[in-house]
Structure 1
Amino acid sequence: MARLLVIDTATPACSVALFDNEALIASDYVDLGRGHAERLVPMIATLPDKGRADAIAVNCGPGSFTGIRVGLSAAMALGIAWDVPVSGYSSLALVAHMAARAIDSRTISIAMQAGHGELFVQDFQIVDQCASAAPDTDIVSVTPQVAAGMIGGNPVFGSGLSLLPEAMRPNETHSLLPDARAFPASQPDFAALAPKPIYVRAPDAKPFKAKTGLTGAANG
């Protein structure tokens, strides 16, 4: 199998991983909150051959608007420079994959912080303990109260646990962020998305619309 570079900057975590024949050969991970743009390129540069790969996979979100664009911009630029394909994956899908290793076959819910007091929520069916997780529902952005009702009795994983009722927080180990090192390189269809942002919610910033027409303008 060819080399694969994975870039993940959609959440407070910033990580990169280089795989060769499905084996992880080099990586870096830091939970830095902000500053992905300054940190990402040096992280890639420290990988073997400066991260040079035959394909690139990038986290398309949902998550931080800025973080998503940082990762996608870097992935697309490297894809053009190296003339290699770039594909995307969901941040919730990677967290579900990470959670699948720690739980019996069942339905789980992923709850990630979405900003403005909301959560990104999606259910996954764990097919087996080889970390195969298939989405059961679409991704939604909802309040913690609505999320609690949607999740029901499912085990919950993700960065949004602190916003849920205390009874729904199983233990600290379930508070996961996406990690490029955990990318399922053995599952070639995992990164099957187009390299485009997954926002779920409309951007906070609204484009300025100039008023058209002038009061009292002459005709003809």
Structure 2
Amino acid sequence: MRVLAIDTALEACAAALLDTTRGALLASVSLPMTRGHAEALMPVIETVMRDSGLAFSDLDRIAVTTGPGSFTGLRVGIAAARGIGLAAGKPVVGLTTLAALAAPLIAANDRLPVTAAIDARHEHVYVQIFGPAGRTVLSARIIPVADAVRAASAMGMMRLIGSGAGLMAAAWPPAPALHAVDDRRAADIDWVARLGAAADPKQSAPKPFYLRAPDAQPQDAAQLPRR
């Protein structure tokens, strides 16, 4: 299976092409950035396709991160994935950023629990806790950092990953000990591709997974009166 993976949900603009039949990542580009995803994404995808030597018609599916993350970034990546899928006649699958962040740690050791946490600002995090074998213990949600620490520390020795990992580590109690803290700002695009290859298209729609309403809301006072 040939999978084009796209991620613009967090602080990177990334794409990769995985060929599961050959067991190889054919091409991968990841550019750290907090804004400008809309302008950067298509050149990144073009580079990946050129380096892989494949055309969009050669793909079997497209995978894209659906959030939580930047509202603008999510829309950029999902729109691109849907557009490519529609033009090439290929299915598109969506993957959460929390699952993508946790995936490499679960693959490395599926006995120790993992908490994927993304800084949601205002002392809150988007969080999901995975237990042994990658089983979800706490489903994805946005909660105060203190509540996330309470839930995660109740599981014993823990690994934290994501932009919210440092916030949680700073509030972590003396016991139990933290096994590892990885405050990476975006998911590994290689793992987005791997999860995309394993996803069920019927269960993984490429729809935005926001978890909360946008901070910017229209103001009634700014609306023009109707005549």
Structure in which a larger fraction of residues adopt helix: 2
Q: Percent identity?
A: 37
Q: 1:24 to 1:77 in 2, by over 3 A?
A: same
Deviations 1:78-109 (CA, angstroms, capped at 9, x unpaired): 11111111110110001110222444513221
Q: 1:78 to 1:187 in 2, by over 3 A?
A: closer
Does residue 35 of the first structure (1) align with residue 36 of the second (2)? yes
- TM-score, length-scaled by structure 2: 0.80
The alignment of Structure 1 onto Structure 2 pairs a total of residues equal to 208
Contact 1:44 1:51 in 2 (8 A): no
Q: 1:163 to 1:28 in 2, by over 3 A?
A: same
Q: Secondary structure at the match of 1:43?
A: helix
Query: Matched residues in 2 for 1:38 and 1:213: separation?
Result: 36
- Structure 1 residue 165: deviation in Å? 4.3
What are structure 2's unaligned runs of at least 5 residues? none
Query: Matched residues in 2 for 1:87 and 1:44: separation?
Result: 17
Q: 1:7 to 1:51 in 2, by over 3 A?
A: farther
1:70 is aligned, of 50, 66, 76, to 76
Q: Secondary structure at the match of 1:10?
A: coil
The residue correspondences of 1:32-111 to structure 2 (distance < 5 A) are 32-47=33-48, 48-49=52-53, 52=56, 53-103=59-109, 105-111=111-117
Query: Matched residues in 1 for 2:66 and 2:206: separation?
Result: 7
- Structure 1 residue 51: deviation in Å? 6.0
Query: Matched residues in 1 for 2:182 and 2:117: separation?
Result: 10
The answer for the alignment partner of 2:217 in structure 1 is: 206
Query: Matched residues in 1 for 2:80 and 2:98: separation?
Result: 21
The answer for the alignment partner of 1:217 in structure 2 is: none
Q: Secondary structure at the match of 1:34?
A: coil
Query: Matched residues in 1 for 2:149 and 2:143: separation?
Result: 10
- TM-score, length-scaled by structure 1: 0.82
Q: Secondary structure at the match of 2:138?
A: coil
Query: Matched residues in 1 for 2:103 and 2:132: separation?
Result: 8
Which segment drifts farther, 149-158 or 82-91?
149-158
Counterpart code for 2:70:
S
Deviations 1:154-182 (CA, angstroms, capped at 9, x unpaired): 32222112222436495886223212112
Runs of 4+ in 1 over 4 A off after TM superposition: 169-173, 207-214
Query: Matched residues in 1 for 2:35 and 2:225: separation?
Result: 39
Query: Matched residues in 1 for 2:137 and 2:178: separation?
Result: 21
Counterpart code for 2:199:
D
Which segment drifts farther, 176-185 or 204-213?
204-213
The answer for the alignment partner of 1:180 in structure 2 is: 189
Counterpart code for 1:195:
P
Counterpart code for 2:207:
K
- Structure 1 residue 185: deviation in Å? 5.2
- Structure 1 residue 207: deviation in Å? 4.3
Contact 1:18 1:51 in 2 (8 A): no
Q: Secondary structure at the match of 2:68?
A: coil
Q: 1:199 to 1:126 in 2, by over 3 A?
A: same
